[in-house]
Structure 1
Amino acid sequence: MDIRTVANPAAPYLARVFGIRDVVLTVLTASADEQDRRRLVQGLVVIDVCDVVSALISRRAGHLSEAGGRAATLAAVAALMPELGWLAANRDR
């Protein structure tokens, strides 16, 4: 994603911190009952929409290169699609 670690030495730390949160949220979602799963997936949608917005803002502000900003945006959108698909497929439950 071209997050410049020279200018941002905390970038690897932040990647690990957020990475473990994704793992924990995935495990919690997979093991939840239907009602809790729906709420967790809705929360994940909010998180990923915020990630899309953050990537766009960071690209505009120059914190990410053009290519890095596109990659970050696409990654956030890619994470969002299965969540929206699950909600659509399970809307009647």
Structure 2
Amino acid sequence: MGSLQEMERLLRLKDEKIIELQKLLEEKEESIMQLRSKLDKFQSVLPQTQNTFIQGGPRKQRAQGISAEPQALRNLSDFSKTNNRRYSKSNR
């Protein structure tokens, strides 16, 4: 086991290291606060559509629809051959 002076020296070194790390932590926390403030400022200025892009994309994906003529009836003669039900207005 070391002498009392050696233990006191090691204890002082540890205390100095703790103080140094605490100062570094305070600097980092201050930097984080400043960056969060800037982020809030920029998010308030940007339109909402750009905010969704920054956050990882749109919230929901839109479905794609197909708008085209039906291919089952290719010409007018095919259409005239199909039988459609007729309903009178009184039967509704």
Q: TM-score range by the shorter chain?
A: 0.3 to 0.5
**TM-score normalized with structure 2 length:** 0.36
Larger Rg: 1 or 2?
2
User: Could you say which structure has the greater relative contact order, defined with CA pairs below 8 angstroms and 6 or more residues apart?
Assistant: 1
TM-score, structure 1 as length reference: 0.36
Q: Which has the higher helix share?
A: 1
